[in-house]
Amino acid sequence: MTDLTFIDSLRAIVGDRGVVTEATDLEIYNTDWRHIFHGKARCAVLPRNTQEVSAVVRLCASAGVPMVPHGGNTGLSGGATPDDSGAQVVISLARMSAIRNIDPVGETMEVEAGCILQTAQEAAAEAGLLLPISLAAEGSARIGGILGTNAGGTNVLRYGMARTRVLGLEVVTANGEIVSGLRRLRKDNAGYDWKQWFIGTEGTLGIITAAVLQLAPMSRNTVTVLLAVPSPEAALKVMRAARQGIGETLNAFELMSGTALELVERHQGLKVPLAPSEWYVLLEASSSLPSLREAVENLLGEVLEREDATDGVIAESERQESELWALRESITEAESREGRSVKHDVSVPIPAIPAFLREAGAAVAGAFPQARINAFGHAGDGNIHYNLVVSSSTDGSALNALVHDIVVAHGGSISAEHGIGQYRVKELERCRSLPELELARCVKHALDPSGLMNPGKILASLHAEK
Ligand code: 2HG
Ligand code: ZN
C-alpha cells in the first residue's frame, strides 16, 4: 500500500481531523514529557470510538504497520514514544474521553481510555465517591495509559496499584478484534482473568479502550502531616507507629530527602514549613469517623517524644493540606529544572529501604562523585525514586546498572510503578531470570504474533538473544 493510500484509508476511518501528518503537529507524539526519548512517527491517528480503534488496528495489521498507543504522554519510561524509523503509527486515545456511567450503589464507573484522570476523579466526587488513583500527573494522565502502565502513585498503600481498581475492561487486540468484558462484578472467577494481560503491559499486547473502575467511599475527614525525621530508619519507625496507631486510615506515607525539598524551594517558589532536615515524611490519613484528628495528634506526640521525628506540622485547613502536598508533587518538575537527571523507579522490601539508600549512596559517591542524589518516593510501598542529577557526560547506563544491582541484591524490582517502556528494556533483560523472560515472550507470541503492537517496549525482541 502506498503511503498516500494508507493515509487516505486512515482518514476514511477516523475523519480528516483524526489523522496528523505535519511534522510540527507530530512533535507532541514524537517526544515524551521530559524530552528524553525522541522518535519519528509515520502519522498519528485519533479514533473517536472503539469501532474506529478496531478498524485502524485492522488496517495497520493488514499493512504490516507497527502501532504505538498513546495516552496523556506523562509516562517516564518512553512507552508511548515511537522509534525513529518513520514507520510507526501513533494511536492516540485522546478523543475517546467519555465517562459512560457511574453506579453510585455498586460504586463503579465506566470510562473511556482517553479520559483524563482528574476529570474522572471529579466526576466520581460529584457522585459522592472516590476514585482512589492519585498521582502528580493526574491533570494530564489518561485512564488508558494509567491502566496500560499499571500506574502507582501516592494512594497505593491503601488502595493498591491501578490494576486493583479494574473490574472490567474493553480492549482491541492486535488483529483488531474488540473484546468487551465491561462487567461490574467484584467477584468473577470464570476462567482466565484476561484483563491482566492488557493491564501493565504498555500496549504491547493490545489497546485498552475502556474500563469499569471500582470506586471507594469518600471519607469525611482527612488529616495531612509533614514531619522532619533524622534518618530513613527513623522514618520506618514512624511508619510502624502509624500502621499500629491509625493503620486502616493511612492513605499515603511518603519519604522525601532534604535535597528533594531544596530543589522544590529553589525552582517552584514553595516553602517548607519546618526547619531544614536530612529527611521528611508526608503522611495522609482519612476516615469518616470524627476521632481521626485526635488519633493523628497522639501519633505525632508519640513519635516526637521518642525522637523518631524532630519536628512536625498538621495541616489546619484544606489549603494547608494542598500546600503540603504541593511540596511532594512538585519534586519531579523541580528536578527537571535543575538539569539532566537519571531516574530509577525501584522497589525493595520495606525493611530494606535504609540499607538500600545507604549502599546505593556509597556506591554512587564512589563511582560518580559529581552525581547529586535526589531520593524520594512512596516509602509505604517500598518504592523509592532514586534519581541522580548529573552532568551531560555521565554514563547513564553504567549508573543504572550500579543502582539496579543493589536493588536486585535486596530482592527488589527495577521498576516499581513507571514500567519498562523503552528506557529499561536492556536492564529488564539483565535483571530478570530467563524463565520469567521466556514466559513474557510466550504471551507476546500468543497475543501479538506479528510483533506490531508497540514494538521495542518491555521486550527487545520476540526471541531470546543467542
Ligand atoms: C512521583 O512519585 C512520580 O512523583 C514521579 O512517580 C517520580 O520523577 C520521578 O522520578
Ligand atoms: Zn512515584
Nearest-Å Rg of the Cα atoms of the chain is: 23
387 lines ligand 1 (CB under 6 A): yes
What pLDDT sits at residue 3? 81
* C-alpha cell at position 201: 503491559
Render pLDDT for 327-363 as a digit per residue (tens, 0 to 9).
Answer: 999 999 999 999 999 999 999 999 999 999 999 999 9
> Is it true that 3-92 and 221-332 share their CATH fold?
no
Looking at residue 462, what is its pLDDT?
66
Ligand 2 centroid–CA 466 distance in Å is 35
- Separation of CA 380 and ligand 1 centre (Å): 15
% the chain with pLDDT above 70:
99
Is 60 exceeded by the pLDDT of residue 15?
yes
Is the pLDDT assigned to residue 465 strictly greater than 60? no
Topology of the domain comprising 99-217: 3.30.465
Q: How far is the CA of 7 from the centre of ligand 1 (A)?
A: 37
136 ligand 1 Cβ < 6 A: yes
pLDDT at 85 over 50: yes
Whole-number pLDDT of residue 2: 83
Q: What is the mean pLDDT of residues 206-210?
A: 99
Domain 339-427 has CATH 3.30.2020.30: no
Question: Which pTM does this prediction carry?
Answer: 0.96
The cell numbers describing 28, all together, are: 507532541
The letter for the amino acid at 428 is L
Q: Cβ(457) to ligand 1 under 6 A?
A: no
Domain layout of the chain by residue ranges: 3-92, 99-217, 221-332, 339-427
C-alpha cell of residue 275? 526547619
Q: Residue 332: CB within 6 Å of ligand 1?
A: yes
For ligand 1, say whether the CB of 385 is within 6 Å of any of its atoms: yes
Is residue 466 pLDDT above 50, yes or no? Answer: no
Distance CA 360, CA 56 (A): 46
Q: Is residue 142 within 6 Å of ligand 1 at its C-beta? A: no
Closest CA to 181 of 170, 192, 191, 189: 170
Judge contact between 354 and 314, C-beta under 8 A.
no
Q: Across all residues in the chain, what is the average pLDDT?
A: 97
User: Looking at residue 461, what is its pLDDT?
Assistant: 73
- Ligand 1 centre distance from Cα of residue 6 (Å): 39
AA letter at 236: L
Query: What are the phi and psi torsion angles at 69 (to 5°)?
Result: -65, 145
Q: Report which bound ligand comes closest to the CA of 336.
A: 1
Q: Where are the beta strands (DSSP E) in 159-287?
A: 166-173, 178-181, 206-214, 216-217, 221-229, 250-257, 279-287
Q: At what angle do helices 331-338 and 258-268 cross, to 10 degrees?
A: 80
The finding on whether 343 has its CB within 6 A of some atom of ligand 1 is yes
Give the whole-angstrom CA distance, residue 12 versus residue 401. Answer: 47
pLDDT, tens only, 246-305: 999 999 999 999 999 999 999 999 999 999 999 999 999 999 999 999 999 999 999 999
**Residue 225's pLDDT band (boundaries 50, 70, 90)?**
very high
Question: Which ligand 1 atom is nearest residue 385's CA?
Answer: 10
CATH number of 221-332: 3.30.70.2190
Q: What grid cell was written down for 417?
A: 510503578
* Residue whose C-alpha cell is 521498576: 415
CA distance 354 to 42: 47
CATH number listed for the domain at residues 3-92 = 3.30.43.10
Give the pLDDT confidence of 395-430 residue by residue, as tens digits: 999 999 999 999 999 999 999 999 999 999 999 999
Pocket residue to mutate for ligand 1, from 135, 146, 150, 414, most atoms within 8 A of Cβ: 135
Please give the distance, rounded to the nearest whole angstrom, from the Cα atom of residue 385 to the centre of ligand 1: 6
Contact 217, 230 (CB under 8 A): no
Q: What is the number of other CB atoms lying within 10 angstroms of the CB of residue 301?
A: 11
pLDDT of 133 above 70: yes
Grid look-up 514500567 returns: 419
Buried b (16+ CB within 10 A) or exposed e, 354-363: bebbebbeee
- Tell me what pLDDT residue 464 has: 56
Ligand nearest 383 Cα, by number? Answer: 2
Q: Tell me, what amino acid is at 275?
A: A
pLDDT at 150 over 70: yes
